[in-house]
Structure 1
Amino acid sequence: MDARPPDRTTADAGRRRRADAERNIAAILDATVQCAPSDGTLNMSAIARLAGVSRVTLYAHFPTREALLGAALQRAFRQTDEVLSGLPLDDAPPAEVLPELIRTSWQVLERHRNLYMAASADLPPATLRAYADLVLGRVEKLLSRGQSAGVFRTDMPLDWLVSTVYTLMHLAAEQVATAHTPPDVAGDLASATIMSLLTSGTPAAPGA
């Protein structure tokens, strides 16, 4: 067996290929977000042109439209999770930090609204929810902490409240996209609506 180390030129070429592939993937995912239309129809040729790659390269990385949508959506939720990781979700009073979470994350959802609409047309609801679980897990943990502290209502299932928060944030994004609500107002409206729903019938708990 030949135990000689790989040729340095070959190793460098391999690294360049990996770097090129990573750049192409990033460009394709960026183009997917930009090209995603509101009617849910995704044009693979347009994405390849905007990304500056051939259709062959596009399909080499993402063999199907579903694979591309899944990767783009997964990255969108990962970006949302990275934004939320900077918030004191585990330590700050739940009723104080939740409005900040809403104002922060709905804007990321708004930027990716068309992508989500396209994914909704091609991917089953269970798959969409699985991608969202990265973010919804943080929301669930925060709401659970608020229920335990007595600041959020406990007369409704936790999972229902989590889904309601998620739905209302998407509604805020839709209102902005359809020009029914200004972007600088939608976040505050979503936050006020969600907080009103979560605290309805719940006595105030100072310092919770």
Structure 2
Amino acid sequence: MPSQGSREPAGSAADRPAPRRRRADAERSRSAIVDAAVRLLGERPEASVEAIAAAAGVTRQTVYAHYPSRSEVLTAVFDRVTAETDAALDAARLDELPAATGLLRLLDVSWEIADRYPGLRHADPPPADRKEEAEQHRPITERLERIARRGQESGEFARDAEPRWLAAATVALGHAAGAEVAAGRMTPAAAADALRTGVLRLYGAEADAEV
């Protein structure tokens, strides 16, 4: 029996798993909250923190412990969708396709993911500074710039616009198409077709490019 005042030897297992368990529990809670928010906001863009907490099976206080405001919950949701988009675009291997084909494939993959969460078109994105906004768009813009350069070098695209500007304009057109769907003025299919046509014209590409 240890004498009074003695300490457990360095490296003792006593109580050491507790911090790991707490971290694991915290990660599970965060994941459950974001899962619930993605699902719920996809159905009800106006869903409250209380509703998100109930869907996640946690208390409102638990949500606020991880995300101090509803805006931060939204940021986590959009970060989740950004990561999913990034993975899907990696899997599409766009750099191995002809530039115009890769451009259309990027639009289709991005639109397919947006269609998985139709309610998020109605959800107001959280306010972000320019750095945060650029990071959210990074999976799209970096690939668009590469595709634009390749297409200009190969002659598939016109050379009278900077690739960075083309990338920014493409993102803006994507937001406009999503807004038309959210407002009920276009169906998702019609908006997707209009986006493809508009982007090909923007890049000076042939309208008969195929995925």
TM range (shorter): 0.7 to 0.9
Q: How does 1:11-30 map to 2 (within 5 A)?
A: 11=17, 14-30=19-35
Aligned residues: 199
CA distance in 2, matches of 1:137, 1:148: 17
In the other structure, the counterpart of 1:4 is 11
Shift, 1:31, TM fit: 2.7
- Structure 1, 79-88 or 19-28: larger mean CA deviation: 19-28
In the other structure, the counterpart of 2:113 is 108
Shift, 1:192, TM fit: 1.7
In the other structure, the counterpart of 2:141 is 136
Where does the alignment leave 5 or more consecutive residues of structure 1 unmatched? none
Q: How does 1:1-208 map to 2 (within 5 A)?
A: 2-7=9-14, 11=17, 14-36=19-41, 43-110=48-115, 111=117, 114=120, 117-120=123-126, 122-199=127-204
Identity %: 31
Shift, 1:82, TM fit: 0.6
- Structure 1, 102-111 or 77-86: larger mean CA deviation: 102-111
TM-score, structure 1 normalization:
0.79
What is the RMSD of the two structures over their aligned residues, measured on CA atoms? 3.0
Shift, 1:41, TM fit: 5.7
Tell me if the contact between 2:94 and 2:105 (Cα under 8 Å) persists in the aligned partners.
no
CA distance in 2, matches of 1:193, 1:159: 17
Where does the alignment leave 5 or more consecutive residues of structure 2 unmatched? 1-6
Mark the CA change 1:31 to 1:94 in structure 2 (over 3 Å): closer, same or farther.
same
Mark the CA change 1:199 to 1:165 in structure 2 (over 3 Å): closer, same or farther.
same
* Higher RCO (C-alpha under 8 Å, 6+ residues apart): 1
Shift, 1:76, TM fit: 1.1
- Structure 1, 100-109 or 19-28: larger mean CA deviation: 19-28
- Structure 1, 142-151 or 175-184: larger mean CA deviation: 175-184
TM-score, structure 2 normalization:
0.78
CA distance in 2, matches of 1:65, 1:123: 14
Mark the CA change 1:114 to 1:191 in structure 2 (over 3 Å): closer, same or farther.
same
Mark the CA change 1:64 to 1:74 in structure 2 (over 3 Å): closer, same or farther.
same
